[in-house]
Copies of this chain bind each other. A is one copy, B any other.
Amino acid sequence: MAGRHRVVIIGGGFGGLSAALKLKRVPADVTLIDRCNYHLFQPLLYQVATGALSPANIASPLREILKDHRNTKVLLAEATGIDVANRRVVLSDGSVEYDTLIISTGASHQYFGHAEWEKFAPGLKTIEDATAMRRRILLAFETAEREQDPEKRRAFLTFVIVGAGPTGVELAGALGEIANDTLRRDFRSIDPASARIILVEGTDRVLPSYPPKLSAAARRMLERLGVTVRTGVFVTGVSEHAVTLREGDRTEQIPARTILWAAGVLTSPLGKSLSEATGAPLDKSGHIIVQPDLSVPGHPEIFVIGDLANYSHQTGRPLPGVAQPAIQEGRYVAGVIRRRLLQHVPPPPFHYFDKGNLATVGRAAAVADLNWLRISGIPAWLIWIFVHLFYIMEFRNRLLILLQWGWLFITYDRSARLITGKTPFPLDL
């Protein structure tokens, strides 16, 4: 159908996919562009990194999700820029024209200006990150088992997690379980429970975006799992063999072969180029400061949603970089587009409905801040399970995940603790 309104969405994460789903019956041709052929349920990515789930359990093919959306086309492609004047998305192989554009390309890690740390301290944003982190964690134990020198062995058994937001806390908790329970009878020369797990956070508490009471509860749960929590501590150096920490005036070097990065996000490079092309303001982290209707100033045909957007109109602070704001923004923008096409009155500004925050700290332990209710422990953990199963795509994945969580709960066995990819011999990390 030539002449139909063309909506192009860049990014198949929570924001972009929610918009695409909501555009099903809108009289427009929708194109969803992503570099991956799947939608990734990022909140459970740490469970892939720690061997509890398989990648396919938390990733659903975009084509499968959208197969009954006859007005929607999925494009496996890499967007390299936006030609605002000609309303074209530039791809590494061609281009796509749009009438309305939704940019939802998310964020990647930042290393406080030290890009060279990335090699030694991998982050967790993609499936490939998760399997690489899994390989690193498992190889650390394997290499320690082979190592004779007690000092080197100790460095192999030292895990430093940088950043105590939800991802850092969840990783630290899972590592505690792996060391204490999962691997308990697996080795003959080392005792996995002797592993040191150090969670480093620059602010004065873990989960700094949660109420202080829940932060304190999370800290206690982590310590019960054998995690050493160090708050008010900054990372000033990362190398292959050690991490350097600064606490007040004191500097300290900890020999550690596994350093995992769960701190700071940087936005996608597309944000910068969009800002240059449209004059849209950027905040200091590189997020695009959007209008009350999530469009770019002076360009009502371009919307920015999810982690790339800075929407502070509601609370004076940007919305958190989690799934809920992105989902609600995607749905809102789809509604704006529908009203425009049907020539209805424009909707009121975007309003974020904060359903609360949840984080797990291992087995039967979590914190839940539902605004009207703040709890920790088993009830919070049950809410966490329910909410995550509810939001995961595809009924089959819900069953598979539930089955594996049940198994993990009973046996401590993490089914997916595979070292895949190229294992280096002689053995090393």
Contacts of A61 on B, CB cut-off 8 Å?
A: 186, 417-418
Query: Digit string of A2-14 for contact with B (CB within 8 Å is 1, else 0)?
Result: 0000000000000
A421 to B126, CA, bound (A): 10
Contacts of A75 on B, CB cut-off 8 Å?
A: 146
Contact (A404, B400) CB under 8 Å given A54-B55, A127-B418:
yes
Contacts of A426 on B, CB cut-off 8 Å?
A: 92-93
Task: Give the 6 A-B CB pairs with smallest separation, nearest first.
Answer: A93-B426, A56-B416, A54-B54, A63-B186, A78-B425, A67-B185
A138 to B64, CA, bound (A): 13
Determine if A68 and B185 form an interchain contact, defined as CB atoms under 8 angstroms apart. yes
Contacts of A399 on B, CB cut-off 8 Å?
A: 403
Determine if B418 and A407 form an interchain contact, defined as CB atoms under 8 angstroms apart. no
A2 to chain B: closest CB distance in Å?
A: 15
A73 to B426, CA, bound (A): 18
CB<8 Å pairs between A and B, sample of 24? A37-B138, A37-B142, A38-B419, A54-B54, A54-B55, A56-B415, A59-B418, A61-B186, A61-B418, A63-B186, A64-B186, A64-B413, A67-B185, A75-B146, A76-B146, A76-B423, A77-B427, A78-B425, A93-B426, A127-B418, A396-B407, A399-B403, A400-B415, A403-B403
Contact (A425, B146) CB under 8 Å given A59-B418, A127-B418, A400-B403:
no
Does A223 lie at the interface of the complex (its beta carbon under 8 Å from any beta carbon of B)? no
Determine if A142 and B76 form an interchain contact, defined as CB atoms under 8 angstroms apart. yes
Query: Digit string of A391-429 for contact with B (CB within 8 Å is 1, else 0)?
Result: 000101101100110010001010111111111011100
Determine if A425 and B56 form an interchain contact, defined as CB atoms under 8 angstroms apart. no
A415 to B36, CA, bound (A): 15
Does A128 lie at the interface of the complex (its beta carbon under 8 Å from any beta carbon of B)? yes
Size category of the binding interface on chain A? 35 or more
Does A386 lie at the interface of the complex (its beta carbon under 8 Å from any beta carbon of B)? no
Contacts of A91 on B, CB cut-off 8 Å?
A: 425
Determine if B35 and A425 form an interchain contact, defined as CB atoms under 8 angstroms apart. yes
Does A188 lie at the interface of the complex (its beta carbon under 8 Å from any beta carbon of B)? yes
A66 to B421, CA, bound (A): 23
Query: Digit string of A36-80 for contact with B (CB within 8 Å is 1, else 0)?
Result: 111000000000000000111101010110011000011111100
A396 to chain B: closest CB distance in Å?
A: 5
Contacts of A68 on B, CB cut-off 8 Å?
A: 185
A31 to B186, CA, bound (A): 13
Contact (A418, B56) CB under 8 Å given A92-B426, A396-B413, A426-B92:
yes
A63 to B419, CA, bound (A): 12
Does A112 lie at the interface of the complex (its beta carbon under 8 Å from any beta carbon of B)? no
